[in-house]
Amino acid sequence: MTEPPLHILDPTILQSLRDLEDASSTFTVADVIGLYLATTPPLLAALRQASDAGEHSAVRLHAHRLLGSSAAIGGQAFAARCSRLRVDFLSLSPRARAAHLATIEAAYADLARALQDAQTLRQQP
């Protein structure tokens, strides 16, 4: 049985965030997206550094943080890649770790573009 493809950005989660925004005077989706886009690159850099050093516990910590924040914002595919690295890190060769990190970084770039596009579409009349 083939699993359905994961969304770069899950529209139902994004809509849930927008529904919260509509019910709140202090919460904005733009703020959440901005915070996510500002805090994720340093976590990715820390993840790469920990992986390059072979620091399993640090890889698990950073991958878990990325997994949680990305899932909360709707980044299913990126979160799934982080989860896989967190689980499989010890069984991967250094070359395979580097390759998997490259897919994580590419998935983040896709997610960042999708989030920026979602914000642009939301701001248009």
Whether the Cβ atoms of residue 35 and residue 69 lie closer than 8 Å to each other: no
Write down the pTM of the prediction: 0.89
Which strand (E) or helix (H) includes residue 5? none
Please return the burial class of 58, using the count of CB atoms within 10 Å of its CB with bins 0-12, 13-18 and 19+.
middle
pLDDT given for residue 120 in this prediction? 80
Instruction: Classify each residue of 85-118 as buried b or exposed e, where b means 16 or more C-beta atoms within 10 Å of its C-beta.
Output: bbeebeebeeeebeebbeebbebbeebbebbeeb
**Residues in contact with 54: Cβ distance below 8 Å, sequence separation at least 6, in sequence order:** 94
Nearest to 112 by CA among 29, 9, 16, 19: 9
Domain boundaries, the chain: 11-123
Q: Dump pLDDT digits (tens) for 6-43.
A: 689 999 998 898 888 877 778 788 899 999 999 999 99
What architecture (CATH level 2) is domain 11-123?
A: Up-down Bundle (1.20)
What pLDDT digit, counting tens, does each position of 59-116 carry?
A: 999 999 999 999 999 999 999 999 999 999 999 999 999 999 999 999 999 999 999 9
